[in-house]
Chains A and B, each alone.
Chain A
Amino acid sequence: MKVASKGHSLFRIDNTRRVWFSNSQDKIDILETNSKAETRFMVSPSWPDTLNLTLVSPDSRTVFSLIIINKAGGLIYNKTFHEGGLNKISTNDYLVLAGTFHGVHAITARLNPVKPVAPPPTPGTNEPPNRPEPSSGLEVLETENFRMQCFNTLTGTKFLLFTETTQTNVDVTIKRIYDLYADYVMKNPFYSLEMPIRCDIFDRKLLSYIREINNR
């Protein structure tokens, strides 16, 4: 059995406190777990020493920031929830970033190596031929320090959520943010479409929702 380096091997822990590795039949017993989410493993006697593996604790999930880009590629919302997650950059840089991403998103949709094929028309009917499902653009971007998920609404507004690399359930989070947007931005008579979002209630609801996730 090989454990290449700590934190890189896939494993799960069952309820008998035994560790199973996804790429082999080997299993090891847990000796102790300390408060820093480090778990010491004792491998069978044939293994000379104890290993220290750092488990990526499932609680350490942080949403760094949110960006909303309108359908023309303009930045309409930008909020940082957690300092230190991402570099601080100026508003101007954010505007450039939004524009760049908008273009990149369109190109990534074009780069689809497998050209979409239209589903065959239903036989016996005179319906026009089905259209192929359009290629989606970039959905998830992974880097060493963060993870970015992009949700593109049917009308072309993009929600970019920056989180920690290990974040889970981002789909749910981003959908909920879209809900909040639909409620507190779109139903606000003082909001003009495609313009920067300045809605107190949206800010408040968004902050309390993200705080709930970050403190969990």
Chain B
Amino acid sequence: MSSLPSSASTGKESGLRVPSNGKTIYHRPINRTKTSELSQASFAFLFSEMVAYAQKRVKGIQELEHKLNVQGHSIGIKLLDLLLYREPARTQLRPQNIVALLHFIKQNVWLHLFGRQADRLEKSTDAEKPDEYMIIDNEPLVNQYISVPREMSQLNCAAFVAGVVEGVCDGADFPARVTAHTVGEGEMWPGKTVFLVKFRSEVVEREAFLAKS
């Protein structure tokens, strides 16, 4: 770097250089094209290898789903930061209640990852389970090309996306367990998936406390 004359003069400044308008490289999508499209085929092949890789080192379906979940988890944590950072400065707040967080996931996270919003958001109707919420995707992009063999019918590879959601929840300080379940809806949506978000008890407690105050 000594060959660069500027390095001597800016030697005292920190390594992170922020342009005058305040917009850094993180504000821009990686892909500059207008639609910012990525090849779905390359993703499909990559994801296929991820599943195959996870499958080699597990004994059961639950373990496989857990592996996929872990693969997605760190993405979720990082994605939360990135997406909030890209929000306009006034709304640059992390979601502070469950509904806001879930809306953020349904809209921003889904839009960023899959180019569309999730299809529906539901709260468990069971009064005994106030901690359960559901994000519903009629046709998860990750599963588009995947046919799960009959003997593994319990498996849903969207466990990876569940991991991402879990990462976002954890990162926003709403620790939760997120699992993906297939609930095929006839011919129309054979791959309909419900992401069951089960928040930890202290999250629900806090929510109730905040609502009162």
Please tell me whether chains A and B touch each other in their complex, using a CB distance cut-off of 8 A: yes
Binding site for B on A (CB under 8 A): 183-184, 187-191, 198-202, 204
A-B contact pairs, 15 of them (CB 8 A): A187-B41, A187-B44, A187-B45, A188-B145, A188-B147, A189-B48, A189-B50, A189-B52, A189-B55, A189-B146, A189-B157, A199-B147, A200-B147, A200-B148, A204-B190
Nearest-CB residue, chain A, relative to B48 = A189
A190 closest partner in B (C-beta) = B149
Q: Say yes or no: B45 contacts A190, CB within 8 Å.
A: no
Cβ < 8 Å to A, chain B residues 46-79? 47-52, 55
Are A190 and B148 interface neighbours, CB within 8 A?
yes
Give the complex CA separation of A183 and B148 in angstroms: 15
- Chain A proximity of B155: nearest CB distance (Å): 9
Residue of A nearest to B187 (CB): A204
Given contacts A198-B149, A199-B147, A201-B145, A187 and B190 within 8 Å (CB-CB)? no
Measured between alpha carbons, how far is A202 from B146 in the docked complex, in Å?
Answer: 9
Q: Which residues of chain A come closer than 8 Å to B52, judged between CB atoms?
A: 189
If A189-B48, A189-B157 touch, whether A184 touches B145 (CB-CB below 8 Å) is yes
Min Cβ gap A189→B in Å is 4
* B149 near A201: Cβ-Cβ < 8 Å: no
**Cβ of B152 < 8 Å from any Cβ of A?**
yes
Choose one: B47, B49, B50, B146; the contact of A190 (CB below 8 Å).
B146
CA distance A204 to B45 in the complex (A): 21
Task: Give chain A residues whose Cβ lies under 8 Å from the Cβ of B152.
Answer: 190
Residues of A within 8 A of B149 (CB): 190, 198
In chain B, what residue has the closest Cβ to A198?
Answer: B149
> Apart from A187-B48, A202-B147, what are 15 other A-B pairs with CB-CB below 8 Å?
A184-B145, A184-B147, A187-B145, A188-B146, A189-B47, A189-B49, A190-B146, A190-B147, A190-B148, A190-B152, A191-B147, A198-B147, A199-B147, A201-B147, A204-B190
A200 contacts across to B, CB distance below 8 A: 147-148, 190
Residues of B within 8 A of A187 (CB): 41, 44-45, 48, 145-146
Residue on B with the closest CB to A197? B147
Question: Residue on A with the closest CB to B155?
Answer: A190
Residues of B within 8 A of A184 (CB): 145, 147
Bound-complex Cα distance A190 to B156 (A): 12
CA distance A12 to B185 in the complex (A): 49
A188 close to B48 (CB less than 8 A): yes
Q: Please name the 9 residue pairs, one residue from A and one from B, whose CB atoms are nearest each other, closest first.
A: A189-B51, A199-B147, A187-B145, A187-B44, A189-B48, A200-B147, A201-B147, A189-B52, A190-B149
Give a binary string over B31-52; 1 marks a CB under 8 Å from any A CB, 0 the rest: 0000000000100110111111
- Give A201 to B148 CA distance when docked, in angstroms: 9
Bound complex: CA A188 to CA B157 (Å) = 11
CB proximity of B156 to chain A, nearest CB, Å:
13
Residue of B nearest to A208 (CB): B187
